[in-house]
Amino acid sequence: MKNKKLLLWIALLVMAIIPIYAQQYDSEKDFQIDWDTKVEGGVIITRYIGSKKEVRIPPSIQNNPVTGIRESAFWHNSNITRVIIPNSVTSIGNRAFSNCESLTSVTIGNGVTSIGNGAFYSCKSLTSVTIGNSVTSIGDEAFSNCGSLTNITIPNGVTSIGNMVFSNCTGLTGIIIPDSVTSMGGGAFSYCNKLTSVIIGKGITSLNLFITWNGHYGSFQNCTSLTSVTIGNGVTIIGDNAFFNCTNLTNVIIPDSVTSIWSEAFASSGLTSITIPDSVTSVGSSAFKCGLTSVTFQGTIAQRGYWSSEGISSEAFPGDLGEKYYAADGGPGTYTRFPGGEVWKKTQSVSQPAASQQTTTQTASATSSQGTTQKLVAGTSGLWYELIETNNEKYYAVVKGTVGIGDVVIPASYNNLPVRLIDNSAFSGRSDLTSITIPDSVTSIGSSAFSGCYNLNITWYYNPALTNHNFRNYLKNVIISASVTSIENSAFAYCTNLTSVTIPASVTSIGDYAFASSGLTGVTIPASVTSIGSSAFSGCNNLNITWYYNPALTNHNFRNYLKNVIISASVTSIENSAFAYCTNLTSVTIPASVTSIGDYAFASSGLTGVTIPASVTSIGDYAFASSGLTGVTIPANVTSIGDSAFAYCTSLTSVTFQGNIDSDKFNNKAFNELGDLRAKYLKGGIGTYTRPKGKTTWTRQKG
């Protein structure tokens, strides 16, 4: 008897000394609360009084759901480094976490719908933010001055982002504003001086200015590293200072939805050429006061009256361009000047073959002012080519497609020379076209090449060298050859009609925003992929991913889309947190080579069933915690089950044990919150145990 008591005291002492891995939620005593006046029965956190660095906010306190975080609840807390906000929370108050200078990681649950003004303002160490997919509004300055933040995904459900929301995020390198956003405050991304890539969704109608007591802030003002901007075709107003002092921005396509370009919109930018679409009716003062040497006007802009804001301001462009445009021989066309010069000259655009020269024979030819242009019949549509000669290469450009019904296949070569270019407006207005295939020989596509092709679907043989692929709206199928090893940043972002892509086993990396906000519904990621960039699949709301699991891929930023997992026979262990929070995961194939399942491996996943092979000997802490499992079989070779391995699996009603597990290797919280299963097994041994859903009493089945 004395020996038994001694052993008990030793066990308790060991448990007190050895740190427990991690509890799911923090103690209720760490939080001060009050009733939530907006949610019946809910409570809000008014102050955090705990001392932990990693804070896991409980979903309920005193049996009342935690529904909100009050303003300034964590304000100026310099101790916390990580915060996990549960799905029960619906709102984060103003300045809730502002000036938490040690905070590096935040996970915002899927219940949150609004993030308050300045919620994470000046969290200077913040590097990782996961925003739940229920958020609809992000307040003014919510993440302003978070200098360590390098990427963030704005979920597709967000409709409003506030003034200066990400201003002075000096580490941010790329951003995609999804189509769902219809309102973006002024100065939203101003002074993000490492921002290189921006995609603006078609829900935004204006890029606004924000005026404060200490200055004026345009949407992307002083983003001095910005080189790539895609402006959605919903934008009608490019506001004051929108791209002011974006010194590395040398090229931008203004969509034909834009009607007004306001003062200093592109002033002091790096633009050297610009095309003003015929939809534009006004250009404000100093809008293009920069180093432009070529400007193309596609339409007629009425002359500005004395009291009118319409027309072109006399100071909109450097030099005498405004005067030349309104001269008798001015109007639509391309105007050029010498760098730094004051005098502009109107030049002729490339002439196209006359209709009378277009024949239906493959050998027909016509001569343009640019060289010899030849026609090739492809399906029922003809192509006109122009021979281009540079110091390095001779190649052909497709300059025109004749009118006809059917499909167009652009060949990879013509007359034994590669086809490299699809020229400006080459297929513009071709509403008769239904499909075009673009070969991987093409490395450049001109502006408006496919504008007005309303019925067009494009199949593209992917070539990473084609970076100005101005055909996202038409891209339906992508074929990636086995020679490709990486998919570039933003390669297929906002390809809303894209339904099919095949990633070959040669690909090892998928870049930032590669498929963001595309129309993909399914994609298979091969085991060769070892790196997936930030927000690679963000905004793909209907996407299901099949992944050939590779433990080397640790930054798999696609948990929300993962549906099927296939694990190869070379894998011996499933890593910690490998599939945690994969809420859409329904199927996983675990081979007989696997011997261990790591901590949190499938925690909070959508799995409803899984077959654990007989080779598995250990199941880690929280391995299946909070998952959707309804039943599970523990094979005979399993000798240890970790802390909370199946805890909080509220749908779990059947467990079969095929072998014997020592009590000291069967953690007493393995089935936490699920009743007396452990006790019943230790008494009853091998067999199947069941319970009615929601009940805590388990019964061993006969047989």
Give me the sheet containing 128-130, strands edge to edge.
54-56, 82-85, 105-108, 128-130
The pLDDT value recorded for residue 380 is 37
Q: Are 289 and 317 in contact (CB under 8 A)?
A: yes
Predicted confidence at residue 68, as pLDDT, reads 94
Q: Which of 95-99, 195-199, 557-561 has the lowest mean pLDDT?
A: 557-561
**Paired tokens of 358:** 């277009």
Average confidence (pLDDT) over 349-359: 34
Residue 513 phi/psi, 5-degree rounding, is: 55, 20
Q: What is the tally of helices (H) and strands (E) in the chain? A: 3, 54
CATH architecture of the domain covering 569-703: Alpha-Beta Horseshoe (3.80)
99-113, 186-200, 357-371, 438-452: least confidently modelled range: 357-371
Q: What is the pLDDT of residue 14?
A: 38
The residue type found at 62 is Q
Closest by CA to 168, choosing from 214, 223, 210, 211, is 223
- Contact present, 98 and 64 (Cβ < 8 Å): no
Beta bridge partners of 56: 84
Can you give the pLDDT at residue 230? Answer: 85
CA distances from 156 to 68, 141, 642, 655 (A): 22, 20, 37, 39
pLDDT in tens, 630-684: 999 999 999 999 999 999 898 999 999 999 999 999 999 999 889 999 999 999 9
pLDDT, position 178 = 87
Type of residue found at 535: S
Residue 307: band (very low, low, confident or very high) from pLDDT cuts 50, 70, 90: low
Whether the pLDDT of residue 232 is over 90: the answer is: no
φ/ψ of residue 34, rounded to 5? -150, 165
- The tokens of 692 are what? 């009615």
CA separation for the pair 161, 140 (Å, rounded):
7
Residue 308 pLDDT grade (very low, low, confident, very high; cuts 50, 70, 90): low
Check residue 19 and report its DSSP letter: P
Q: Which two tokens stand for residue 406?
A: 């059917």
Mean pLDDT of 600-607: 89
Token look-up 């452990």 returns: 678
In angstroms, the CA 57 to CA 85 distance is 6
Domain ranges of the chain: 569-703
Q: Are 587 and 563 in contact (CB under 8 A)?
A: yes
40 token code pair? 């019946």
DSSP-derived secondary structure for 583-599: TT--EEE--TT--EE-T
Tell me, what's the pLDDT at 358?
34
Name 279's Cβ contacts closer than 8 Å, sequence gap at least 6: 256, 257, 258, 259, 299
In the predicted structure, residue 401 carries a pLDDT above the cut 80 = no
Q: Is the pTM of this model over 0.85?
A: no
**What is the bridge-based pairing of β-strands 345-347 and 333-336?**
antiparallel
Nearest to 516 by CA among 22, 205, 151, 17: 151
- Buried b / exposed e over 43-68, threshold 16 CB at 10 Å, is bbbbebeeeeeebbbbbebeeebbbb
Residue 613 has pLDDT above 90, yes or no: yes
Is the pLDDT score of 374 beyond 60?
no
Rounded CA gap, 332 and 282, in Å?
Answer: 14
Q: How confident is the model at residue 360 (pLDDT cuts 50, 70, 90)?
A: very low
Interatomic CA distance for residues 681 and 470, integer angstroms: 63
Alpha-carbon distance 562 to 581, whole Å? 10
Q: Is the pLDDT of residue 411 over 50?
A: yes
DSSP per residue, 426-462:
TTTT-TTEEEEEE-TT--EE-TTTTTT-TT-EEEEE-
627 pLDDT more than 60: yes
Residue 554 predicted with pLDDT over 90: no
Q: How far is CA 399 from CA 383, 394, 440, 445, in A?
A: 8, 16, 18, 10
Of the ranges 293-307, 348-362, 676-690, the best mean pLDDT one = 676-690
Q: What is the pLDDT of residue 361?
A: 30
Largest CA distance in the chain: 111
User: Distance (Å, rounded) from C-alpha 657 to C-alpha 479?
Assistant: 47
Given the structure tokens 């020996």, which residue do they identify? 3
**What digits encode the pLDDT tens for the residues 489-534?**
888 887 888 888 989 999 999 988 888 878 888 899 999 999 998 7
Structure-token pair, residue 100: 């938490």
Burial group, residue 336, by CB count within 10 angstroms (0-12, 13-18, 19+): middle
**How many other CB atoms are there within 10 angstroms of residue 550's CB atom?**
18
pLDDT at 282 (0 to 100): 93
Residue-averaged pLDDT of the chain: 85
> Is residue 292's pLDDT more than 70?
yes
| Identity of residue 421 | L
pLDDT of the residue at 34: 93
Q: Rounded mean pLDDT of 615-636?
A: 94
Percent of the chain whose predicted confidence (pLDDT) is above 90: 46
Q: Which residue has the tokens 């719908």?
A: 113
pLDDT over 50 at 279, yes or no: yes
Q: Is residue 333 packed enough to be buried (19+ CB in 10 Å), middle (13-18) or exposed (0-12)?
A: middle
